Amino acid sequence: MLLTMILVALKRNHKLAIIATLITLTTSLTCIFFITVNAPHFIGELFIIDRFGLYYQALILTATFVIAIFSYINLEHLFPDRRKEEYYLLLMLATFGSAVMVISAHFISFFVSLEILTVSLYALIGYYREYRPAIEAGLKYMVLAAMSSSFLLFGIALVYAVSGTLSFTGLATMPLTIGADNSIILISGVGMMMVGIGFKLAVVPFHMWAPDVYEGASSPVTAFIATVSKGSVLALLLRLFMLADLYRYEKLMLAFTIISVLSMLIGNLLALRQKNVKRILAYSSIANFGYLLVAFISGKGMGPQAATFYVTAYIITILGAFGIITIISRSDNEAADIENYKGLFWKRPFLAAAFTIFLLSLAGIPLTAGFIGKFFLLTAGLGKSQWLLAIVLVISSVIGLFYYLRLIATMMQRDNEYKPHTTFNAFSLLGGIIIAILAIAVVCLGIWPLWLVNAISTHI
């Protein structure tokens, strides 16, 4: 309750520059730590405040905090003296949408928060409007997102037609035997909702937008889409399935199994031929959310915990990766082409080492958080005897190694003229420190994951 109010207040912080943004984020983050909720309590029917939601809110706010700093660096590169303030407004609005989404317990609040998030993302993606790919990406995202929203809305309507309720918990009380006609309507309704959610998560076959948008949007915005937007939708998906107990419907779970297998394989295979680092990360995120669905499919118990751990590790890693892209970019173009990374290891050894850590974490190599995350996913999957998913996960991880290794190998090659951006100021120093912190966090989580595991298991 308190938190929502603070977030509403945030929205009104119009012409604040970066400092104000950071302060508000820190304040709301501190508030979350002071809120102790023992039993989940509902606000009307719309919201549910519980530890699960608070955990994800903390995650979202931390991620946004990091993104805001990188945004500042990025804006300094791209806009010498124009339009810097509105950016933060949009960023805060999108964060507000995500933060509300993870505590939604009702289709109305879910849809509204999703729209807040999406609409501010349209603008954020196309924010750098002098750059044509940005416009293209923004437009593409808008058209497709609008379509997926309408699917979602229609799905909600169908579910409402059968069940007569819009709250998640209401669905749980629905009996499994509700007659063939109604059952078809219900399944197709939930299926349509899955189209909308699948679009946001960019899982195959709803993944088409991801590479273009990742490439067109500026790095911090891409990082936002990859972490905050996807993370909050995943949290919502988990909550929806837990509260409404949709695990009962086998057909639905079968559909998710297919989506997961396809995402893992197609994401990794398509990434192999890419030459743009941001596109590689886009396909890699498609594959990574395929992995995540393995934990999701394995249902209650271990599943949500494993998914939460993995998404946390993923968010830390991907923030670091996009942070590095931001830092080494020059003002006239972003360092997105793989050629720009040639020889980075010899020029900026610590940045390159950090990037290597992040990539290895994405590939799931031990000593990094990604490995522990993958271990949890596999444990969750095999605990429910999902051998097919586990084997596909392993095979596609091996495929994935190819492109992560290629990037690492490129960084180690010699001779290149591309000079990474090297002017130092307080904020790029801060950016460097944050990357160091993220890299250390990835390694620490890879060696001592216990504290996060405990934190998650008390929250979920």
Partner 1 sequence: MILVWLIILLMGCGSLAWLSGRWSSTLPRIISLAGITIQVVTIISFLMQYKQHSGWIVSYTHSWMPSFGIQIKMAADGLSLLMLLLTSLLGIISVLISWKEINEQVGFFHFNLMFVLAGITGVFVALDLFLFYFSWEVMLVPMYFLISIWGNENKTYAAYKFFLFTQGSGLLMFLSILGLYFIHGHSTGVFTFDYEQLIGTKMTPQTAFVLMIGFVIAFIVKLSTVPFHSWLPDAHTQAPTAGSVILAGLLLKTGAYGLIRFVLPLFPLASHQFAPVAMALGVISILYGAKLAFAQTDIKRLVAYISVSHMGFILLGIYAFNEIAMQGVVMQMIAHGISTAALFIIAGVLHDRIKTRDIDQMGGLWLTVPKMGAMGLIFVLASLGLPGLGNFIAEILILFGSFFANEPLTIIATFGLVAATIYSLRIMQKIFYGKERTQWKVADLSIREMAIMLSLTTVIIWLGIFPSSVLDISRKPVQNIIEEVNGARINTEIQHYSHIEKKGDNCSINLAVFKDNTAHIKK
Q: Does 366 bind partner 1 (CB under 8 A)?
A: yes
Q: Does 269 bind partner 1 (CB under 8 A)?
A: no
- Please give the span between the terminal C-alpha atoms of the chain, in angstroms, as a whole number: 20
Q: Does 388 bind partner 1 (CB under 8 A)?
A: no
Alpha carbons 316 and 231: distance in angstroms, whole number: 11
Residues between 167 and 226 that touch partner 1 (CB under 8 A): none
Question: Which one of 13-21, 34-42, 326-334, 398-406 is the stretch in contact with partner 1 (CB under 8 A)?
Answer: 398-406
Measured from the CB atom, the residue of 283 and 371 that comes closer to partner 1 is: 371
Q: Does 260 bind partner 1 (CB under 8 A)?
A: no
Q: Give the count of residues interacting with partner 1 (CB under 8 A).
A: 28
Burial class from Cβ neighbours inside 10 Å (0-12, 13-18, 19+) for residue 379 reads middle
Question: Which one of 217-225, 247-255, 258-266, 406-414 is the stretch in contact with partner 1 (CB under 8 A)?
Answer: 406-414
Question: Which one of 63-71, 228-236, 367-375, 416-424 is the stretch in contact with partner 1 (CB under 8 A)?
Answer: 367-375
Measured from the CB atom, the residue of 26 and 385 that comes closer to partner 1 is: 385
Options 6, 29, 144, 367; binder of partner 1; rule CB under 8 A:
367
Residues between 411 and 450 that touch partner 1 (CB under 8 A): 412, 449-450
Residues between 93 and 112 that touch partner 1 (CB under 8 A): none
325 to 364: interface string for partner 1, x by CB under 8 A: --------------------xx--x----------x----
Q: Does 371 bind partner 1 (CB under 8 A)?
A: yes
Measured from the CB atom, the residue of 167 and 356 that comes closer to partner 1 is: 356
Provide CB contacts within 8 A for 200, sequence distance 6+: 114, 148, 229, 230, 233
Measured from the CB atom, the residue of 68 and 344 that comes closer to partner 1 is: 344
Measured from the CB atom, the residue of 61 and 378 that comes closer to partner 1 is: 378
Q: Does 391 bind partner 1 (CB under 8 A)?
A: yes
Q: Compute the least distance from the CB of residue 412 to partner 1, in Å.
A: 5
In one letter, which amino acid is 275? K
Burial class from Cβ neighbours inside 10 Å (0-12, 13-18, 19+) for residue 109 reads buried
143 to 172: interface string for partner 1, x by CB under 8 A: ------------------------------
Do residues 96 and 349 make contact, with C-beta atoms less than 8 angstroms apart?
A: no
Q: Does 451 bind partner 1 (CB under 8 A)?
A: no
Options 9, 143, 398, 437; binder of partner 1; rule CB under 8 A:
398
Measured from the CB atom, the residue of 319 and 390 that comes closer to partner 1 is: 390
Q: What string of H, E and C letters represents the secondary structure of 101-167?
A: HCCECEHHHHHHHHHHHHHHHHHHHCCCCCCHHHHHHHHHHHHHHHHHHHHHHHHHHHHHHHHCCCE
Applying CB under 8 A, the residues found at the interface with partner 1 are 345-346, 349, 360, 365-367, 371, 375, 378-379, 382-383, 390-391, 394, 397-398, 401-402, 405, 408-409, 412, 449-450, 453, 457
